[in-house]
Structure 1
Amino acid sequence: MNQKVLQDRLKVFAIDIVRFAEGLPESLGFKTVRNQIVRSGPSSAANYRAACRGKSTADFKHKLEIVEEELDETLFWLEFTVGLDETKRTLIGPLWKEGNELLSIIVASIKSVKQK
């Protein structure tokens, strides 16, 4: 997968996360989720874009590690949402699947960079 395709997937994922958050109820627990997930989801896309413009291999690797952290945090908030309301599991399913796929790609990329 080339960088442009991955950039596009991460951007679509970020948009989907924000749209998901916009549909959450107004209760305190969901407000917490909304505030956190709208930061971490789009941050993964923005940081990957920055990684692609890395000044060195070390800079690229460091920024990929930030993407990894942000994707993992996004997955945590999706899990947390299910903990608050089990009925959200079906809605979260596609987001969870794409987030995990993206995380796997990023982790594999980090491993590849480390081997060079």
Structure 2
Amino acid sequence: MERDNIIQDKSFSFAIRIVDAYKFLQKERHEFILSKQLLRSGTSIGANVEQAIGAQSKADFISKLSIAYKEARETKYWLKLLLATGYLTLDMSTSLINHTEEICKIIGSIQLSAKQS
């Protein structure tokens, strides 16, 4: 029986939210450049978490998590830019930014534990 993996679950649910935001930006706001950057970085977080789970070594695990962390930081940047330029509402962006920050904290904690073990 597979046990729950919080970062795996959170990064996957975040990716779904990012895909939904991308669809909104494309259809409702007719924004085609920044939205693709958001889609790329926001869905990459979970992909890198999955790669970390299947890592071949501790160093590989830490490396993949580091990439996931960087992608989360980039996603936060695109969300803030989309808010500042009026493509996203404050409510929509705040919720997504909070989700991103939560993911960053979890990944940071996992990285610290992995480096100390």
TM-score, structure 1 as length reference: 0.89
Structure 1 stretches of at least 4 aligned residues deviating more than 3 Å after TM superposition: none
**Relative to 1, partners in 2 of residues 1:90 and 1:53: Cα closer, same or farther, differing over 3 Å?**
same
| Paired residue total | 112
Mapped partners of 2:69, 2:112: distance in 1: 12
For the aligned residue pairs, the C-alpha RMSD in angstroms reads: 1.6
- Residue 5 of structure 1 and its aligned partner are, at CA, apart by 2.8
Within 5 Å, give how 1:1-116 maps onto structure 2.
4-24=5-25, 25-26=29-30, 30-85=31-86, 88-116=89-117
User: Per the alignment, do residues 39 and 87 of structure 1 end up closer, same or farther by CA in structure 2, a change over 3 Å counting?
Assistant: closer
Higher helix share: 1
Q: CA deviation at 1:89?
A: 1.3
Instruction: Provide structure 1 residue ranges, at least 5 long, that are not aligned to the other structure.
Output: none
| CA–CA separation in structure 1 for the residues paired with 2:9 and 2:76 | 19
Whether the 8 Å contact between 2:53 and 2:61 is mirrored in structure 1 is: yes
- List alignment gaps of at least 5 residues for structure 2: none
Structure 2 Cα separation of the partners of residues 51 and 39 of structure 1: 18
TM-score, normalised on structure 2?
0.88
